[in-house]
């Protein structure tokens, strides 16, 4: 009896001896907090620079690309994304010719963590971020958050090389990526699990602590810089799903499991189409911007990464045909921007496509009273999470991200079920994720 009690105790003490010493733990805590704070400042500076460029390009200081597009005359709405793409492409092309390197590398920080030693090409990353700043400020339908996360990881990489051992470089770059996501999406848990889930096996579970600390520090500083603690998406309060709605959420998980691989296939085909034209990078990005401009003549809602459109859908769901039309036009704009090589992310555009698709299905289900209340908003949120899970194969991260962005944690069980279904089906149909195909951009 005594031996049975002593043995586990001695085993626990033996394990404690393998924990880092307190000095080392304190050092990691300080480094993680510092990276979190710096990442939040970097993201804030990028956002302010974007607003400044929007004022210069568009004469609008509201921070809303859609409002700016709606106020422009048709000819400027047509040409502004094309000119932005031309300018960004010229910047990337000039850098390519000067250094004899590729103009950009997709998901730089993912490669640095997953296959590299944690180092990033600082100059190339800054040029890519500057080009991304230009295209997002000129209305391209690409995510701005990708460049924000990249800049946060660039800082973390430089800091790591100067202040830590080489075997820790990946950890600090991971902290930078999580902190950048926390600042951009107000989702520290999802940002942390993004690193743990996407790069499972690269980082030890014990390293998750500094990643979480960096992400939470970044969020707190982001709230201070923005002088608010508002959720990223404001949603009318939803009741916990009814049993029939859990079934609807799971059913949409199947839909997203098919839609995710289809979305990735369309992005791949779009990239192949632009490459088949054999244009120089300036002309290729200009063509992508021109296509966005043409689509914006139909509706200005195609400009930008889709955040404000999703917010309007969640606030007051429009008619089914209207949402379906916007989904088609916006998807075409995203494919044009991504396929042409516009530097930026597809993370937020993916959230838009998922939300719009979910709302279309939800509006259709809403015809019948048995589907319950607010089913359109419920499935829009489900669409955001499940399409993200289907394209990243990260169901836990996707679930937590939507819950953190909206504050609707009562949906967590249903979202997790739907995301697991979507991720499993998507993985079976297309093993590659958005981070493992040449056309993808992270964030």
The CATH number given to whatever domain includes residue 421 is: 1.10.3080.10
Residue 309, pLDDT > 80, answer yes
* pLDDT per residue as tens digits for the range 277-299: 999 989 999 999 999 999 999 99
Residues 201 and 343 in one domain: no
pLDDT recorded at residue 440: 39
User: Model confidence at 205, in pLDDT bands (50, 70, 90)?
Assistant: low
Task: Read off the pTM.
Answer: 0.82
- Cα separation, 403 vs 270, whole angstroms: 32
Residues 197 and 252 in one domain: no
- Element holding 295 (H helix, E strand): helix 281-298
Residue 11, pLDDT > 70, answer no
Average pLDDT, the chain: 83
Contact 320, 346 (CB under 8 A): no
Q: Has residue 12 been placed in a domain?
A: no
Q: Which of 192, 226, 260 is the last residue of a domain?
A: 226
Residues 133 and 222 in one domain: yes
- Cα separation, 310 vs 150, whole angstroms: 24
Q: Has residue 123 been placed in a domain?
A: yes
Report the range of poorest mean pLDDT among 40-49, 104-113, 193-202, 392-401: 104-113
- Element holding 327 (H helix, E strand): helix 320-339
Residue 262, pLDDT > 50, answer yes
Mean pLDDT of 104-130: 72
Residues 215 and 255 in one domain: no
- Cα separation, 53 vs 66, whole angstroms: 15
**Residue of higher predicted confidence among 15 and 99:** 99
**Residue of higher predicted confidence among 369 and 343:** 343
Which segment, 7-16, 94-103, 248-257, 339-348, is predicted with the most confidence on average?
248-257
Give the three-state DSSP class for 200. Answer: strand
User: Model confidence at 105, in pLDDT bands (50, 70, 90)?
Assistant: very low
pLDDT recorded at residue 206: 57
Mean pLDDT of 163-183: 87
pLDDT recorded at residue 146: 85
Q: Has residue 238 been placed in a domain?
A: no
Contact 176, 152 (CB under 8 A): yes
Q: Has residue 184 been placed in a domain?
A: yes
Q: Across the chain, which distance is largest between two alpha carbons, in Å?
A: 86
Residue 439, pLDDT > 60, answer no
Listed in sequence order, the residues at least 6 apart from 327 whose beta carbon sits closer than 8 Å to its beta carbon are 353, 356, 357, 360
Contact 147, 441 (CB under 8 A): no
pLDDT recorded at residue 201: 52
Give the domain extent around 111: 25-226
Residue 236, pLDDT > 70, answer yes
Q: Which two tokens stand for residue 17?
A: 């001896």
Q: Has residue 64 been placed in a domain?
A: yes
CA quadruple 135, 314, 383, 364: dihedral sign: negative
User: Phi and psi for 228 in degrees, rounded to 5?
Assistant: -160, 160
Q: Which of 226, 256, 290 is the last residue of a domain?
A: 226
pLDDT recorded at residue 329: 94
């Amino acid at each position: 009896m005594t031996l049975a009690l002593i043995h586990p105790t001695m085993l626990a003490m033996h394990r404690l001896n393998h924990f880092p010493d307190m000095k080392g733990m304190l050092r990691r805590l300080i480094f993680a907090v510092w990276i979190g704070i710096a990442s939040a400042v970097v993201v804030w500076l990028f956002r302010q620079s974007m607003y400044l460029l929007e004022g210069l390009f568009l004469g609008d200081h509201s921070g809303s690309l859609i409002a700016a597009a709606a106020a422009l005359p048709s000819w400027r709405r047509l040409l502004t994304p094309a000119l932005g793409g031309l300018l960004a492409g010229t910047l990337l092309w000039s850098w390519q010719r000067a250094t004899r390197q590729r103009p950009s590398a997709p998901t730089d920080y993912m490669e640095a963590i997953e296959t590299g030693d944690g180092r990033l090409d600082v100059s190339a990353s800054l040029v890519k971020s500057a080009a991304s700043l230009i295209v997002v400020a000129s209305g391209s339908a690409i995510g701005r958050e990708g460049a924000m996360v990249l800049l946060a990881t660039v800082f973390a990489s430089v800091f790591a090389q100067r202040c830590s051992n080489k075997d820790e470089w990946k950890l600090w770059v991971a902290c930078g990526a999580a902190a950048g996501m926390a600042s951009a999406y107000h989702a520290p848990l999802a940002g942390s699990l993004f690193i743990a889930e996407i790069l499972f096996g690269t980082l030890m579970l014990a390293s998750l602590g500094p990643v979480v600390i960096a992400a939470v520090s970044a969020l707190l500083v982001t709230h201070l810089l923005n002088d608010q603690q508002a959720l990223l998406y404001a949603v009318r309060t939803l009741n916990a799903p009814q049993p029939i709605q859990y079934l609807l959420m799971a059913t949409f998980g199947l839909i997203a499991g098919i839609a995710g691989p289809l979305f990735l296939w369309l992005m791949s085909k779009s990239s192949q189409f632009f490459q088949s034209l054999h244009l120089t990078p300036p002309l290729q990005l200009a063509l992508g911007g021109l296509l966005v401009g043409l689509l914006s003549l139909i509706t200005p809602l195609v400009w930008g990464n889709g955040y404000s459109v999703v917010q309007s859908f969640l606030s007051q769901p429009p008619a089914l045909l209207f949402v379906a039309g916007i989904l088609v036009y916006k998807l075409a704009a995203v494919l044009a921007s991504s396929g042409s090589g516009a530097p930026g992310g597809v993370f937020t555009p993916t959230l838009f496509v998922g939300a719009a698709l979910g709302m279309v299905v939800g509006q259709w289900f809403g015809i019948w009273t048995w589907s319950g209340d607010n089913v359109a908003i419920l499935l829009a949120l489900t669409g955001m999470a499940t399409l993200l899970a289907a394209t990243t194969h990260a169901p836990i991260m996707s679930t937590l991200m939507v819950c953190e962005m909206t504050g609707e944690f009562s949906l967590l069980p249903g979202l997790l079920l739907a995301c697991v279904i979507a991720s499993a089906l998507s993985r079976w149909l297309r093993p590659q994720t958005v981070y493992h195909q040449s056309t993808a951009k992270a964030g």
